[in-house]
Amino acid sequence: MSLPRVVAVTPESPAARAGLLPGDEIATMDGQLPRDIIQYQLLADQVELELDVRRGGLELPIVIRREGNEPLGAEVDAALFDRVRTCDNHCEFCFIHQLPKGMRKSLYTRDDDYRLSFLYGNFTTLTRFTEADLERVITEGLSPLWVSIHATDPDVRSRMLRNRRGATSLRWLRALLDHGIEVHGQVVVCPGVNDGEILDDTLAGVLDRYPELASVACVPLGISRFNVEDAMRPHSTQEAAAVIDLVEGWQPTFEAAVGHRMVFAADEYYLIASRPFPPLDAYGTVAQHDNGVGMVAAFAARFQGRSDAPRGGPGGFFQSLDGAPAEGYRAVRAPGSITLTPRADAPVTILTGSYGRSVLEPLVRTVGAHIEVVEVRNEFFGGNTGVAGLMTGADLSRVLADAPYGRRYLLPDVCLSGGRFLDGMTPADLPRSVEIVPADGASLWRALRPLLAA
């Protein structure tokens, strides 16, 4: 257990009035040491709160009094104060196993913690879930949760997770649904492993045993050049098309049986298969936006001015575990701003991954000249890595090394966490100044507007 450490105090807040300071460590809250930010918030949500605080080697009592619905006004340094519950599966498709050495330590953490599922949208296999966890989820209403299904056949699931508990752990999914917890599912589809007839059987099993699921995303596995599993390979164009056909074939059945389509194929499948994307309204609430389902349709809608389109969040596979700020419990993407040397109406270059280029080129072609979209081929990870969120400083430096001056270089913020790329570089290390733009369509439109008005 570590103690929650205060990193910021809002002026004139209840915490500030009581004398709480940045750097204080909270030893107890009303006599209890919170295990995580969930319990911290529950304890903080009362009119009067007694804290035991450690400051400079001294222990101080502090009493915080709130008026009405005032927020406490104190941010702490992490989402979990006890240990992250790590994953004891050995999935051959796990991307963390495919990382090179020498990256940030937090990137190698394989969590299977239901609390991070609730706080961050991380997927859990439930193989380490317990009766005590179920009781807490139900009692505290920790909903929604995000569960990796992969296969409903016990033997297939156990083989994929390389964990014998994988055959039985979906009983917890049934228990969560029985108690009214909203759950979203995921199937990482591996060619030759759980696609084809097995995927068809999985969707039948979802409808039969877990019809209360809020959504199910079928996503392709990612392969880096560091992969050592011979059975793992990227989808072919034909295999991607087959997944789309199977998923779309099941959607009317789900809609008739449970009132909504439930199951969706990730946007990446449509890019691999060179298929047009479904319209935005085909995705319902776009609940798995951050998992790459409906993201393209939502991005295009917001770029074209539809304010009702989902905004989406930073999301992504590599959510930092170094310590999350209290505001949203997500690592800050790009603190501060990058000073631009070109004028605002200078020609624009948008830097993105191979998938991003396929999406953005048709969009920006409709709005005017002097905008180019440049693909940053991912040589750092290699394989079939094509998403903008996995761009690294090294690959961006390679592309920008001979790029002309006098242009605005726009970079989506999803490739940054705490102001750093996955390889540890920062935007200041790049050979050209870049402008960091939030990765949603409306933000890109605002960034391009000075050029279009010129």
Instruction: Give the pLDDT score at 341.
Output: 61
CA-to-CA separations, 9 to 19, 71, 189, in angstroms, rounded: 10, 11, 45
Instruction: Give the pLDDT score at 62.
Output: 96
Q: What is the CATH number of domain 6-76?
A: 2.30.42.60
Residues 6+ apart with CB under 8 A from 205: 152, 153
Structure tokens belonging to residue 384: 């079939």
Question: In this predicted model, what pLDDT tens digit does every residue of 221-246 receive, in sequence order?
Answer: 999 999 999 999 999 999 999 999 99
Question: In this predicted model, what pLDDT tens digit does every residue of 61-86 receive, in sequence order?
Answer: 999 999 888 889 998 988 889 988 99
Q: Which of 316, 50, 94, 83 is nearest to 224 (CA)?
A: 94
Q: Model's pTM, two decimal places?
A: 0.90
Instruction: Give the pLDDT score at 333.
Output: 64
**Left (φ > 0), alpha (ψ -120 to 50) or beta: where does 243 sit?**
alpha
Instruction: Give the pLDDT score at 331.
Output: 54
Q: Domain 96-303 belongs to what architecture? A: Alpha-Beta Barrel (3.20)
Instruction: Give the pLDDT score at 320.
Output: 34
The residues of the chain scoring below 70 in pLDDT are 311-341, 454
Instruction: Give the pLDDT score at 417.
Output: 83
Listing from the earlier edge strand, what are the strands of the sheet with 48-55? 25-29, 48-55, 58-65
Instruction: Give the pLDDT score at 435.
Output: 93
Strand pairing of 371-375 and 348-352? parallel
Structure tokens belonging to residue 403: 């790029």
Rounded CA separation 80/412 (Å)? 28
Instruction: Give the pLDDT score at 328.
Output: 37
Instruction: Tally the C-alpha atoms within 13 A of residue 424's C-alpha that lie toward its C-beta.
Output: 7
Instruction: Give the pLDDT score at 367.
Output: 82
